[in-house]
Amino acid sequence: MSSRFYQLVIDARDPGKLARFWAEVLGQRIVYEADDEVIVAAGEHAYPGLCFLPVPEGKTVKNRLHIDLNPDDQQAEVERVIGLGARRADVGQGPDVSWVVLADPEGNEFCVLRPHASLAD
């Protein structure tokens, strides 16, 4: 028996606001929303989803897990996502890396990669 990736759970001070940010970034929608949980996905049966849960504290250290975005045009995507509320982040990356590190509105780091054709390229 095997398992499939169901959802990635993200702690948030304001789950609804953060879920709406990620729905815009990913071109997805909120498929479920309650006071204690908000789920973003391409569709109700499209796995995996992003599940946002409320926590009282803000983020304090670098993420141990993060999302990588694979855009068609890296620079255009960086500008678009910053326009949605992200900001540039420094996690110690050098100036010669091929990705751009951003942080979502609650400070969770993620990367905008150069375009990739596959997971192995």
Mean pLDDT computed over 18-28? 98
Span(s) in the chain for CATH 3.10.180.10 = 1-55, 62-121
Which helix (H) or strand (E) element contains residue 81? helix 74-84
62-121: CATH number: 3.10.180.10
State pLDDT tens for residues 67-111: 999 999 999 999 999 999 999 999 989 989 999 999 999 999 999
Both tokens assigned to 39: 């789920």
In CATH terms, the fold of domain 1-55 is 2,3-Dihydroxybiphenyl 1,2-Dioxygenase; domain 1 (3.10.180)
CB of 70 within 8 A of CB of 113?
yes
pLDDT of residue 121: 85
CA angle 88, 6, 71 (to 5 degrees): 35
Residues 112, 5: Cα–Cα separation, whole Å: 22
What is the pTM for the complete model shown?
0.94
Q: What are phi and psi of 54, to 5 degrees?
A: -75, 140
Question: What strands lie across the sheet with 49-54, from one edge to the other?
Answer: 7-12, 49-54, 37-41, 29-34
pLDDT of residue 39: 98
pLDDT of residue 70: 97
pLDDT of residue 62: 85
Residues 20, 25: Cα–Cα separation, whole Å: 9
State pLDDT tens for residues 26-73: 999 999 999 999 999 999 999 999 999 999 998 888 888 999 999 999
